[in-house]
């Protein structure tokens, strides 16, 4: 994902190259792609921004997450229905009575993708040495290593390894197919982190030769990575079988197609050039349903429509390390001046679960009482009073806000609405820069932007995964060094204590109580301003079978197949 920072509808000016269509096909690896077309078993997605990395430990964007989660696999996975943990590369695991030692039994007969980096070109078998190497990378790589921030201060001896080398004393290979992890202290998130793509398994020979090699259901080849699409091909040696003993995956390939700027994604879907699209505005859904009602009602139906909550919060991040945003009353004034209902109604056209009137943790987290967290209600008079108390009556003397947002239409429209509201309500000028996510992160790393529009998809379904965006322990003293994921550079001793306590509290009820208290601190002091919580419409071609949506936006494609729908099959 990360997990993961979400890029909101960012569009690149590339042509669509649907591997399921018959117009503009990718010219690379022609034999394989032509074969794919004939079997009609290429699944077509649209992507809205160039991936930032092909290294799992560096994932911070959704595009990289979606691509790499097909190529690499962690030890565990989240169940599609309830997000409970299930075996993947580990066939089982156990926990010691003191909750400090986790022992994983690895699945035998799992092989890395065939590649010339291996002797004879055949993929090596996955074993305990690959687990140890993967975690040594996590604790030794430094540049853009997001995985390190997730596991920091978790495993015995890992920090010493990071600074001095040697071995990580808390990770041991008991035999070729058994690995144990000893933790510094109990962790509420460690076992969930073993199911995210950032902790996926790699092998030394592939990393040393800079090739993208995992154990996943699909393989990456740079020849199929073009300006038109990233096309992944079936891993013919994949380790999973269906319930009839047939090899998986069913699909021959998966294409992540870049969309040309101004191109209508919905029209491409209706033309059969895309198989699944998400994030559709309700008014567009209404139009297509009313105009093409038969496509949804016929037997067989042509399209399938679904609506799903997402574990995602879109928010503004304010750089609290620089003036005037180091003043809590300034932040409270900005939050109070923004009418979130207008953003949801007028800009998003209802494509949201609801306004971000509470904390950072979204309502899709089960059993978390998100509505008990009280944010700052929209109140222009109160906002003006707060700004005056901060030393800027009627906005006098307040510097123009440098506001960074994505390049997509929705991102820009949200930014323009906020710009209009802050000028009208507080007499504050806002200068908008529409940038790629990579460019925004670079500006954040050096504190060259005051306010950023972004989205946060939790790495795992727990409030702790959202509160991490304000945890201050990893914020550097210098405000020109990266502080990701805490891009607001917020530091609050009480919040950090609550976050740390929640991170080691295994009892769900107690942990959620701690998280609610920490979430309230964020809502009160406003280092971030939640704008809306996500809920997406999704359209799927009815020929796509076994595609299961989930609130974490994980695309499980191993069991997906493409078959023409028939009335008989639907009746069955």
pLDDT per residue as tens digits for the range 203-232: 999 999 999 999 999 999 999 999 999 999
d(Cα 443, Cα 448) in Å, to the nearest integer?
A: 5
pLDDT, tens digit (0-9, with 9 covering 90-100), for 391-418: 999 999 999 999 999 987 889 999 999 9
pLDDT of the residue at 262? 59
Q: Which two tokens stand for residue 7?
A: 């890029």
CA torsion through residues 47, 51, 55, 60, sign: negative
Give the mean model confidence (pLDDT) for residues 188-203. Answer: 98
pLDDT of the residue at 261? 66
Mean per-residue pLDDT of the chain: 89
Q: Which two tokens stand for residue 320?
A: 């609290």
C-alpha dihedral over 16, 22, 23, 24, to 10 degrees? 50
Give the mean model confidence (pLDDT) for residues 293-317. Answer: 86
pLDDT of the residue at 302? 84
pLDDT, tens digit (0-9, with 9 covering 90-100), for 474-507: 899 999 999 999 999 999 999 999 999 999 999 9
| Greater pLDDT, 287 or 96 | 96
Give the CB-side neighbour count of residue 306, counting CA atoms within 13 A.
16
* Contact assessment for residue 111 and residue 127, using Cβ atoms and an 8 Å cutoff: no
Burial class (CB in 10 A: 0-12, 13-18, 19+), 513: middle
pLDDT of 135 > 70? The answer is: yes
pLDDT of 568 > 80? The answer is: no
Give the mean model confidence (pLDDT) for residues 304-332. Answer: 95
| Greater pLDDT, 1 or 456 | 456
pLDDT of the residue at 3? 31
pLDDT of the residue at 565? 52
pLDDT of the residue at 409? 80
pLDDT of the residue at 38? 38
Q: How confident is the model at residue 288 (pLDDT cuts 50, 70, 90)?
A: confident
| Greater pLDDT, 218 or 284 | 218
With b for 16 or more beta-carbon neighbours within 10 A and e for fewer, the 235-257 pattern comes to bebbbeeeeeeeebbbbbbbbbb
pLDDT of the residue at 536? 82
Helices within 234-327 (DSSP H only): 265-270, 282-291, 293-297
pLDDT of the residue at 144? 87
CA 559 to centroid of chain Cα atoms? 22
pLDDT, tens digit (0-9, with 9 covering 90-100), for 2-13: 333 333 333 222
pLDDT of 187 > 90? The answer is: yes
pLDDT, tens digit (0-9, with 9 covering 90-100), for 14-33: 233 446 443 333 333 333 33
CA 180 to centroid of chain Cα atoms? 28
* Contact assessment for residue 102 and residue 95, using Cβ atoms and an 8 Å cutoff: yes
Give the mean model confidence (pLDDT) for residues 117-136. Answer: 97
Lowest mean pLDDT segment, chosen from 18-32, 180-194, 283-297, 431-445: 18-32
User: In 3D, which of 352, 366, 3 has the Cα closest to residue 198?
Assistant: 3
Give the mean model confidence (pLDDT) for residues 292-320. Answer: 87
């Amino acid at each position: 994902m990360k997990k993961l920072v979400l890029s909101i509808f960012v569009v690149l000016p590339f042509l669509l190259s649907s591997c399921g269509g018959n117009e503009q096909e990718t010219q690379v690896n022609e034999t394989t792609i032509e074969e794919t077309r004939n079997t009609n078993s290429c699944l077509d997605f649209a992507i809205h921004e160039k991936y930032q990395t092909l290294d799992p430990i560096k994932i911070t964007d959704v595009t990289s997450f979606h691509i790499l989660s097909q190529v690499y696999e962690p030890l565990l996975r989240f169940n599609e229905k309830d997000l409970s943990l299930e075996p993947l590369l580990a066939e089982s695991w156990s926990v010691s009575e003191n909750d400090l030692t986790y022992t994983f039994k690895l699945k035998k007969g799992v092989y890395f993708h065939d590649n010339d980096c291996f002797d004879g070109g055949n993929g090596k078998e996955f074993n305990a040495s690959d687990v140890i190497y993967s975690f040594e990378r996590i604790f030794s790589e430094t540049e853009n290593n997001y995985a390190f921030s997730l596991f920091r201060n978790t495993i015995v001896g890992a920090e010493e390894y990071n600074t001095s080398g040697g071995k990580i004393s808390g990770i041991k290979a008991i035999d070729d197919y058994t690995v144990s992890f000893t933790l510094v202290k109990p962790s509420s998130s460690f076992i969930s982190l073993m199911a995210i793509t950032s902790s996926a398994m790699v092998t030394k020979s592939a990393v040393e030769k800079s090739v993208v090699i995992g154990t996943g259901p699909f393989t990456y080849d740079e020849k199929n990575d073009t300006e038109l699409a990233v096309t992944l091909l079936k891993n013919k040696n994949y380790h999973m079988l269906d319930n009839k003993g047939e090899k998986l995956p069913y699909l021959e390939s998966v294409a992540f197609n870049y969309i040309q700027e101004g191109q209508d994604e919905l029209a491409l879907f209706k033309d059969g050039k895309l198989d699944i699209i998400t994030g559709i505005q309700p008014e567009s859904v209404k139009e297509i349903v009313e105009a093409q009602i038969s496509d949804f009602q016929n037997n067989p139906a042509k399209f399938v429509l679904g609506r799903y909550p997402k574990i995602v919060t879109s928010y503004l991040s304010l750089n609290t390390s620089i003036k005037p945003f180091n003043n809590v009353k300034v932040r409270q004034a900005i939050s109070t001046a923004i009418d979130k209902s207008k953003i949801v109604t007028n800009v998003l056209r209802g494509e949201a679960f609801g306004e971000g009137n509470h904390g950072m943790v979204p309502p899709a987290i089960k059993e978390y009482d998100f509505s008990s967290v009280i944010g700052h209600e929209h109140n222009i008079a109160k906002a003006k009073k707060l700004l005056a108390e901060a030393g800027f009556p009627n906005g006098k003397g307040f510097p123009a806000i440098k506001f960074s947002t994505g390049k997509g239409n929705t991102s820009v429209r949200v930014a323009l609405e906020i710009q209009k509201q802050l000028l009208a309500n507080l007499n504050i000028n806002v200068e908008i820069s529409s940038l790629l996510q990579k460019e925004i992160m670079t500006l954040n790393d050096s504190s060259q932007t005051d306010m950023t529009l972004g989205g946060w998809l939790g790495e795992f379904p727990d409030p702790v995964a959202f509160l991490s965006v304000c945890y201050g322990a990893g914020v550097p003293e210098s405000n020109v060094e990266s502080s990701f994921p805490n891009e607001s550079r917020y530091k609050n001793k009480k919040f950090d204590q609550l976050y740390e306590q929640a991170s080691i509290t295994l009892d769900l009820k107690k942990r959620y109580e701690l998280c609610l208290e920490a979430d309230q601190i964020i809502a009160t002091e406003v280092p971030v301003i939640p704008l809306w919580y996500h809920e997406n419409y999704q359209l799927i071609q009815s020929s796509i079978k076994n595609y299961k949506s989930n609130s974490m936006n994980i695309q499980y494609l191993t069991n997906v197949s493409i078959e023409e729908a028939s009335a008989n099959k639907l009746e069955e």
